[in-house]
Amino acid sequence: MAARLGAALLLAAGASGCLRYEFDHEFWLRTDGAGSVRVTGRPALWVAFKGLPDADDEVRLLADARRAFERSGLEVRRAQVTTWSGRHYLSVTAEFKDVNRLSATPAFPDLTLQLQRAADRLNLEGAWRLPAGSAELASRDRDGLAAIRFHLPSKVYAHRNAADGVERGNILTWRTELPAVQSGGRALAFGASLGQRSILVSTLWLFAAAIGTAVATLVTVFALVRRRGRASEDQLQQPAR
């Protein structure tokens, strides 16, 4: 009984919805390459991975993060400090016009990212790593998980080792332990192949097709009923012999 309970707890802890990431990039992407992103992490991780000036004042650090996003051509929608389990996290949410222009900008020196068209597919490729020359983190800031997450706009045909496969139809998550990317220059690589037509457009086309089929069926039924009605009237009007 105890073994079963322990296994159940491990499964629950492993579910992506139950995990807490110490550093997290979450993207909402459109088929044209535009979208939005939310980056959330502990202050020390922002300093190490984003190259922000080290500052004990979190308000100042958040202002520096906001400026880095704006200098990178993003439109910042929200910048805030949150608290979870006694730890503080900086969070910036912003919109971008082209995901291919994010790599190696002041906001994303730690990220390479490309979305390319190939035949009838969109190929997403990228990697997240600690930039060269970054200051070494204190031992207290090296623990925990980091993640790259994408809410994709269309059907996912394939992915490269997403941690939980395709979630809820179009979400992919790649995660790693922080020490893995803080030593030896290792990167968290990710990739996926998806359709060029968005799920919303596909749904609208299916909805329109269903309405068109229903209308055509009603018109056909109405025409048949009307034709039979006329045939009956003609029979009634014929003179008796």
Q: What is the pLDDT of residue 205?
A: 37
Q: Which of 190, 191, 108, 181 is nearest to 145 (CA)?
A: 181
Q: What is the pLDDT of residue 138?
A: 78
- Is the pLDDT confidence value at 5 over 50? no
Residue 188 contacts residue 125 (beta carbons within 8 Å): no
Question: pTM to 2 decimals?
Answer: 0.76
Q: What is the pLDDT of residue 56?
A: 78
- Is the pLDDT confidence value at 180 over 70? yes
Q: What is the pLDDT of residue 11?
A: 40
Q: Among all chains, which residue has been given the structure tokens 């983190």? A: 137
Measured in whole angstroms, how far is the alpha carbon of residue 52 from the centre of its chain?
A: 25
Q: Which contacts qualify for 80-83: CB closer than 8 Å, 24 or more apart?
A: 82/40
- Is the pLDDT confidence value at 40 over 90? yes
* pLDDT band at residue 241 under the 50/70/90 scheme: low
- Is the pLDDT confidence value at 153 over 50? yes
Tokens of 117: 């068209």
Q: What is the pLDDT of residue 135?
A: 72
Calculate mean pLDDT across residues 159-178. 95
**Angle at 157 (CA atoms; ends 153, 161), nearest 5 degrees:** 100
For 205-233, the pLDDT digits (tens) are: 334 344 445 545 655 656 666 666 666 65
d(CA 158, CA 160): 7
Q: Which of 151, 99, 172, 137 is nearest to 22 (CA)?
A: 137
Q: What is the pLDDT of residue 175?
A: 96
The length of the chain in residues reads 241
Residue 188 contacts residue 144 (beta carbons within 8 Å): no
Q: What is the pLDDT of residue 25?
A: 98
Percent of the chain at pLDDT > 70 equals: 73
Q: Strands, E, within the chain: which ranges?
A: 21-29, 35-41, 75-84, 87-96, 111-118, 121-129, 145-151, 154-159, 171-177, 187-198
- Is the pLDDT confidence value at 83 over 70? yes
Please report which helix (H) or strand (E) contains residue 214, including its range: helix 199-237
* pLDDT band at residue 55 under the 50/70/90 scheme: confident
Sheet holding 21-29, edge to edge: 75-84, 87-96, 35-41, 21-29, 145-151, 171-177
Residue 175 contacts residue 190 (beta carbons within 8 Å): no
State phi, psi for 24 to the nearest 5 degrees. -145, 125
Break the chain into its structural domains and give their ranges.
19-198
- Among 44-48, 113-117, 160-164, 208-212, name the one with the lowest average pLDDT: 208-212
